[in-house]
Structures are given as C-alpha cells and as structure tokens.
Amino acid sequence: MSDADWWRGACIYQIYPRSFYDSNGDGIGDLNGITDHLDYVAELGVDGIWISPFFTSPMKDFGYDVADYRDVDPIFGTLDDFKTLLHKAHDLNLKIIIDLVLSHTSDQHPWFTEKPEYYVWADPKPDMFGVLTPPNNWVSVFGGPAWTWHEEREQFYLHNFLKEQPDLNFHNPDVQQEALDAAQFWLDMGVDGFRLDVVNFYVHDKELRDNPPRDADLGPAVQFEGDDPYSQQNHIYDKSRPENLDFLRKLRKLMDQYPGTFTLGELGDDHPYERTVEYTGDGLLNTCYNTQLMSGKHKNLTTDLIREPIEHFQSLCEDNWPSWAFSNHDVVRVASRWLPDSDGFSQNPDCSKMLIALLGCLRGTAFLYQGEELGLPEARLNFYDLQDPWGKHLWPEWQGRDGCRTPLSWNGKEPEGSWLPVAEEHKDMCVEKQIQDEQSVLNFTRDFLAFRKQQTALTKGTMAFLSDDQDVLHFERSHDGTNLFCCFNLTDTTQHIQTFLLGNPEVLFSNNFEGETLEPFGFAIIQVG
C-alpha cells in the first residue's frame, strides 16, 4: 500500500480496545490484546485499523475524556505496548489510525487547573434575583445545559458533552498549537493518520449567541430519536463555525509533512452532506465519517435509506471522497437495526452477509466495526449493567451505547468479570465457532473482502443508481471500461430481477441468488458486457 491515496476505497476495521481482547485478565481489553490478534484482523482482508482512544483518562466517557494526549492509560498498557502494536501492524501491511479527541479534554487534564485560559469561560447572565444563570441557551449532547458553574473561578465553563469534558478554546492560538503538537507526537511515532472526533465542534461563537429554535424539517439532532433538549435547537453558534476551517488548514499543513497519512473527520451537523463537502474541500480533510447510515434504534431498510444520502452527496461534489459505515461504538448494531420486524436485538446471518457486501460495494471508504464481521446483534443489558452515562440518562427509552460495546466472544468461554457482560447470544457466534463453519458470516466476510480487493470498479469506480424499486437496490459501479451491476434484496421475501436485460452477464459474487431470483437478503454482483 505505497499509494498515497491508499485510503480511497480502503476497508478499515474499527477496534474498541476495552472490548476487543483482554490479555491480562483484568476485565478490560488492552493494546497487547489487539497485538495478539492482529493476524485475525489481517486475515479479514481489511487495509487498516482505527483504534478508539487509549490515552490517559479517568474514563468518565471511556477514553473520550483525555487527561494526557501523549501517553497510554495504564488499563490499556504502555507507550512501548503501542509501539509494538504499530510495528506488527505495519509488518502485516495494516495501517493504524488513532482517534484524536481535540475539541475537549478531561477536567482531570493538568491544563484545566494550570492553564485555565485554554478553556471556554463565561460570566453568568445578569439576574436581578442573584440566580446563577448560564450565559446562553446552549445544551449538552448528553443532556442538560452545556455550562457548569466553577466555584473557584466564579464563572461557567463550556462542555458540549459531559461536565467532566470541558471544551478547549480554539480561539486561543496556544490551544491550536498544543493540538498540532499532540498530532505531531503520534505522527513521529509512525501512525498512519487520525480519526478526528467531533471535528466540527472545535470552535464556538465568540459572542456566545443563543441558538435559535430548531427547524422541524431538520429532524433529531442526535442519533437517538427522542424528545431531547439538544434536538430543540438549531446548532449554528455552538459548532460548525467558519473559523474551524482555519485550524484544519494548519492541520493539513502538518499532515503534508508526513506523506501517505490520512485524516478522517467525524461530523455531527444538521447539514451533514454540505458540511462534508466543506470539510473535505480545498485539501483540508481526506474524507469525513458520515453517520447518516447509522442513526436510530430501528429502521425499515429501504432503497431510499441508502440511495438518498449517497446521491445527495454526489450531487454536491463528485470529486470529494466519502466514507460510509453501518455500525460503530456509538450506535445500535446494524444486524439488529435494519433487520425487518426485529425486536431490536435479533439477527439473521443472511441479512448480515448482504449488509457486508452492500457496504463494500458503495463508492467510498468502508468502515467495519468489530463484531460486524461476525454478524453480532445488539446486546440486551440490564440497567445495573450499564456503564454509559448517556444510556443511564436516557433509560428506559434507550439503553445507550453499551449494547454495541460488549466484549467480543472469542471462544464462547469468556470468564466473568469483564467491564460489560459478554452477551450470551454472542457466545454462540464466537470467533472460534465461526472459523470452523464454512457458511459463517466471518468466512463470508473474508471471502467477500478478498474479492473486493480485486475489483477496481468497487474500490475506485463511479456509482450510479438504476432503479426506484424500494425492495431491491440496483446500482452500477464502473471503472476503465469495467461495469459491475450490483443488486441487493433488502427484504426477507423473495424478489426477482431481469438479468437478460444486462447483456452477457457474468455473476462474479453472490449469495441466495439463482438465475433471476433473489432469495431473502440475497444479492449479486454481475459483470456486464
């Protein structure tokens, strides 16, 4: 993978380190556990790994509250452990992308005490009764005001997430330099790039203006579709400010000193497609991690759900390169979310296979979340098992993000005492059993990704949708005279296509497909002449 554009059309595997593999028996996955299983990841046929945060942290938000940008939290190991992981991954021809959380730190970061000017502070709003009122109406994604009173300073500080995650003040040039220095530290170590957490949250409105009421046609502001305060506002002042791009230009200048490195931005915005084009234009970020195919607790999978975001993005700018994922560490697992008539915790191996193939056939960089290659469903948890602060806040409407974060089952005999319980239904779908089953989702994933790597039309080609059918998704991928017709039955009933219209069709890869019949969740990738 010497190509500097290796990431275009790559498939990247996301590892949530707490739940991947526990190498020392303390109940928490770690870096050595990842290193020990890099061969497994390489055998999937992916091109790289994105590792969720492993930095020093008090773990109020499980690593997304950073207390030291240049060290590994002891629960995950040491810097030397990470270097070992990095070297072995590169020996296996795997790129390593790490999660860089720059919009905020932990309140336990030394800066919060020693360099308070690095954070966003504001006096209370004047009140004739002496009530300490926040300076504006901004609210936290995780519920409640986005401001917390600090007794010693007698001011409020801003936090878009937990109160233990104070926002950094990117209007301060020293903060921007600290962020760039942190990135350079890991680039010098040899990482291949960054997934930039909430990349559009870095800069806030200097005037601290109130957000206006939300336009109804914008829909929910967070992936949980509930009546939450965050979805009552149009978020034009607390994020996605134009000054954000000034910092990203500085970051791009740094990345350019390390050829072949990669930047992936996570965007949480009311106008995701337009913002993606803005953030990936003019050489800023390589691509953005689009969350439009991951929202909600359960949705009926129709062709419009896939087609509309992709066509909208392509209509804005065909040159910018998208990234797509169906699952990650923040959302309900897709094996349950898009399964027809699912109770929210069920799965179907044919549906999981079809979704793996569909993701791999979309134009863009594909992201697989650990366990997706096994077809794992969402885990059902009791309230007393929950660790996620967001889940505790939203219970019982939603159990939060823990349902997709339970530890992987490798042999079905995992010991008790892990930070989240291993789901019983996952033990029957463990890695060891699936390796031995030729028809398993795991072996299908390996076969499909090996096939995909040989099809330049799938990794680099153009994409055009061909039908308005709501049950069967039809599109064409084309590159240098090769045309691939891709059809996917999104339902649990038999559907039909007319292959005789294609002209000298050759079926290259399929499942549950025979002649012109797509069985439930069947699909076919057909080369046409």
pLDDT at 167: 98
- Both structure tokens of 472: 């069967």
Instruction: Summarize the confidence of residues 379-407 as an average pLDDT.
Output: 92
Instruction: Summarize the confidence of residues 514-523 as an average pLDDT.
Output: 94
Characterize 168-204 residue by residue with b for buried, 16 or more Cβ atoms within 10 angstroms of its Cβ, and e for exposed. bbbeeeebbebbbebbeebbeeebbbbbbbbbbbbbb
- Give CA–CA dist 76/31, Å, rounded: 5
- The pLDDT confidence band at residue 272, using thresholds 50, 70 and 90, is confident
Q: Do the Cβ atoms of 308 and 273 come closer than 8 Å?
A: no
> What's the sign of the alpha-carbon dihedral 223, 229, 232, 234?
negative
Per-residue model confidence as pLDDT tens digits over 147-163: 999 999 999 999 999 99
- The pLDDT confidence band at residue 86, using thresholds 50, 70 and 90, is very high
Per-residue model confidence as pLDDT tens digits over 417-431: 999 999 999 999 999
Q: What is the dihedral of CA 416, 419, 420, 422, to 10 degrees?
A: -40
Instruction: Summarize the confidence of residues 44-61 as an average pLDDT.
Output: 98
Per-residue model confidence as pLDDT tens digits over 113-144: 999 999 999 999 987 677 889 999 999 998 89
Per-residue model confidence as pLDDT tens digits over 103-114: 999 999 999 999
Residue 379 has pLDDT above 60, yes or no: yes
- Give CA–CA dist 356/413, Å, rounded: 27
pLDDT at 185: 98
Instruction: Summarize the confidence of residues 22-51 as an average pLDDT.
Output: 98
DSSP, res 168:
B
User: Which helix H or strand E contains 425, and what residues bound it?
Assistant: helix 424-427
Contacts of 337 (CB under 8 A, 6+ apart): 296, 297, 298, 299, 331, 344, 378
384: Cα separation from own chain's centroid: 26
Q: Do the Cβ atoms of 379 and 345 come closer than 8 Å?
A: yes
Domains and CATH numbers, the chain: 11-108+169-453 (3.20.20.80), 462-528 (2.60.40.1180)
Instruction: Give me the catalytic one of 266, 378, 388, 402.
Output: 266
pLDDT at 10: 98
Instruction: Summarize the confidence of residues 81-94 as an average pLDDT.
Output: 98
Q: Do the Cβ atoms of 451 and 508 come closer than 8 Å?
A: yes
DSSP, res 50:
E
Residue 499 has pLDDT above 90, yes or no: no
- The pLDDT confidence band at residue 1, using thresholds 50, 70 and 90, is very low
Hunting for tokens 């921007």 — which residue is that?
176
- Give CA–CA dist 268/271, Å, rounded: 9
Residue 283 has pLDDT above 90, yes or no: no
Catalytic-residue membership of 197: yes
- Both structure tokens of 374: 């096994």
Instruction: Summarize the confidence of residues 302-309 as an average pLDDT.
Output: 92
pLDDT at 226: 53
Amino acid at 84: T
pLDDT at 474: 96
Cross-strand bridge partners of residue 329:
none
pLDDT at 270: 86
Give the three-state DSSP class for 336: helix
- Give CA–CA dist 63/78, Å, rounded: 15
Q: Where are the alpha helices (DSSP H) in 139-229?
A: 173-189
Closest CA to 358 of 483, 461, 488, 522: 488
Cross-strand bridge partners of residue 148:
157
Q: Do the Cβ atoms of 338 and 296 come closer than 8 Å?
A: no
In percent, how much of the chain has pLDDT > 90? 81
- The pLDDT confidence band at residue 342, using thresholds 50, 70 and 90, is confident
Per-residue model confidence as pLDDT tens digits over 348-366: 999 999 999 999 999 999 9
Contacts of 523 (CB under 8 A, 6+ apart): 354, 357, 358, 486, 487, 488, 489, 510, 511, 512, 513
Does this model's pTM top 0.85?
yes
- The pLDDT confidence band at residue 398, using thresholds 50, 70 and 90, is confident
Q: Mean pLDDT over all residues of the chain? A: 94
Catalytic-residue membership of 151: no
Per-residue model confidence as pLDDT tens digits over 194-239: 999 999 999 999 999 999 999 877 777 765 555 678 989 999 999 9
Residue 40 neighbours by CB distance under 10 Å = 17
Q: DSSP for 212-263?
A: PBPPGGG--SSSS-S--GGGGB--SSSS--TTHHHHHHHHHHHHTTSTT-EE
Instruction: Give me the catalytic one of 22, 167, 197, 402.
Output: 197
Characterize 471-504 residue by residue with b for buried, 16 or more Cβ atoms within 10 angstroms of its Cβ, and e for exposed. ebbbbbbebeeebbbbbbbbbeeebebebeebee
- Give CA–CA dist 91/424, Å, rounded: 35
Alpha-carbon distances of 202 from 175, 284, 335, 371, 390, rounded to whole Å: 11, 15, 33, 31, 21
